[in-house]
Amino acid sequence: VAEVPAECVIGVDLGGTKAIAGAVDASLAVHYRGRREVPTSDLEALLETLTELVEEVREAVGGEVEGVGFGIPCLIDQDRGLAASSVHLPINGVAFADVMAERVGLPVFMDNDGNLALLAEQRAGAAHGERNAVMLTLGTGIAGGIVIGGELYRGSQGAAGEFGHMIVWADGPACGPGCRSRGCLETLVSGTALSREALALASRSPASRLGQALAAGREVSGPLVTELAFDGDGDALALLEELGTWLGIGLVNVVNIFNPDVVVIGGGVIAAGELILAPARRVLAERALAFPAEHVRVEAAHFGAESGMLGAALFARERLGERVRA
Amino acid sequence: VAEVPAECVIGVDLGGTKAIAGAVDASLAVHYRGRREVPTSDLEALLETLTELVEEVREAVGGEVEGVGFGIPCLIDQDRGLAASSVHLPINGVAFADVMAERVGLPVFMDNDGNLALLAEQRAGAAHGERNAVMLTLGTGIAGGIVIGGELYRGSQGAAGEFGHMIVWADGPACGPGCRSRGCLETLVSGTALSREALALASRSPASRLGQALAAGREVSGPLVTELAFDGDGDALALLEELGTWLGIGLVNVVNIFNPDVVVIGGGVIAAGELILAPARRVLAERALAFPAEHVRVEAAHFGAESGMLGAALFARERLGERVRA
Out of A84, A258, A287, whose CB is closest to B180? A287
Dihedral over Cα of A215, A218, A221, A223: its sign: negative
CB within 8 Å: B155 and A287: no
Distance, CA of B281 to CA of B276 (rounded, Å)? 9
Going by C-alpha positions, the residue among B245, B189, B237, B243 that lies closest to residue B209 is: B237
Q: Is B244 on the interface with A (CB under 8 A)?
A: no
- Collect all residues of chain B within an 8 Å Cβ-Cβ radius of residue A170: 168-169, 246, 249
Out of A146, A179, A291, whose CB is closest to B159? A291
Preferred mutation among A130, A136, A253, A284 to probe B, highest tally of B CBs within 10 A: A253
Residue A144, min C-alpha distance to chain B (Å): 9
Q: At B85, phi and psi to the nearest 5? A: -165, 100
How does DSSP assign B217-275, residue by residue? T---SHHHHHHHHHTT-HHHHHHHHHHHHHHHHHHHHHHHHH--SEEEEESGGGGGTHH
Distance, CA of B152 to CA of A161 (rounded, Å)? 18
Q: Is B217 exposed, middle or buried (0-12, 13-18, 19+ CB in 10 A)?
A: exposed
Residue B251, min C-alpha distance to chain A (Å): 10
Number of A:B CB contacts under 8 A?
A: 147
Distance, CA of B189 to CA of A153 (rounded, Å)? 28
Q: How many residues does chain A have?
A: 326
- What pLDDT score was predicted for residue B2? 40
Out of A166, A170, A292, whose CB is closest to B169? A170
- First-to-last alpha carbon distance for chain B, in angstroms, is 31
CB within 8 Å: A292 and B155: yes
Q: Is A261 on the interface with B (CB under 8 A)?
A: yes
Q: Is B309 exposed, middle or buried (0-12, 13-18, 19+ CB in 10 A)?
A: buried
- What pLDDT score was predicted for residue A6? 64
Non-local CB neighbours of B30 within 8 Å, separated by 6+ positions: B22, B23, B24, B306, B309, B310
Distance, CA of A267 to CA of B154 (rounded, Å)? 28
Residue B33, min C-alpha distance to chain A (Å): 32
Model confidence band, residue A323 (pLDDT cutoffs 50, 70, 90): confident
Q: Strands of A151-152's sheet, edge to edge? A: A151-152, A142-148, A133-138, A262-266, A297-300
Non-local CB neighbours of A187 within 8 Å, separated by 6+ positions: A172, A173, A174, A175, A176, A193
Distance, CA of A107 to CA of A69 (rounded, Å)? 9
- What pLDDT score was predicted for residue B76? 84
For helices B234-258 and B274-287, angle between their N-to-C axes, nearest 10 degrees: 50
Out of B165, B170, B259, whose CB is closest to A256? B165
Out of A156, A161, A169, whose CB is closest to B257? A161
Q: Which residues of chain B are under the pLDDT cut of 50? A: 1-4
- Per-residue pLDDT for A1 more than 80? no
Distance, CA of B122 to CA of B135 (rounded, Å)? 10
Please report, for residues B172, B173, B241, the alpha-carbon distance to residue B238 in angstroms, rounded to integers and kept in the order given: 20, 19, 5
Express each pLDDT in B57-106 by its tens digit: 999 999 889 999 999 988 888 778 888 877 778 888 899 999 999 999 99
CB within 8 Å: A159 and B259: yes
Distance, CA of A216 to CA of B263 (rounded, Å)? 53
Q: With contact defined as beta carbons under 8 Å apart, do A177 and A183 qualify?
A: no
Non-local CB neighbours of B166 within 8 Å, separated by 6+ positions: A253, A256, A257, B184, B185, B250, B253
- What pLDDT score was predicted for residue B153? 97
Please report, for residues B223, B238, B239, B252, the alpha-carbon distance to residue B227 in angstroms, rounded to integers and kept in the order given: 6, 13, 12, 28
Going by C-alpha positions, the residue among A131, A167, A307, A308 that lies closest to residue A249 is: A167
Residue A276, min C-alpha distance to chain B (Å): 18
Express each pLDDT in A278-302 by its tens digit: 999 999 999 999 989 999 999 999 9
Out of A146, A163, A169, whose CB is closest to B169? A169
- What pLDDT score was predicted for residue B92? 86
How many other C-beta atoms can be found within 10 angstroms of the C-beta atom of residue B69?
Answer: 31
Residues 274-303 on B with a CB inside 8 Å of A are 286-292, 295
Distance, CA of B266 to CA of B126 (rounded, Å)? 10
- Collect all residues of chain B within an 8 Å Cβ-Cβ radius of residue A295: 156-157
Distance, CA of B208 to CA of B212 (rounded, Å)? 6
How does DSSP assign B101-160, residue by residue? HHHHTS-EEEEEHHHHHHHHHHHHSTTTT-SSEEEEEESSSEEEEEEETTEE---TTS--
Distance, CA of B182 to CA of A146 (rounded, Å)? 26
CB within 8 Å: A167 and B261: no
A108-112 and A65-72: which strand pairing? parallel
Q: With contact defined as beta carbons under 8 Å apart, do A244 and A217 qualify?
A: no
Q: With contact defined as beta carbons under 8 Å apart, do A167 and A148 qualify?
A: no
Distance, CA of B146 to CA of B249 (rounded, Å)? 18
State which amino acid sits at residue A208.
Answer: S
- Per-residue pLDDT for A229 more than 80? yes
Question: Could you tell me the pTM of the whole model?
Answer: 0.93
- Beta bridge partner(s), residue A30: A24
State which amino acid sits at residue B309.
Answer: M
Q: Looking at residue A37, what DSSP letter applies? A: E
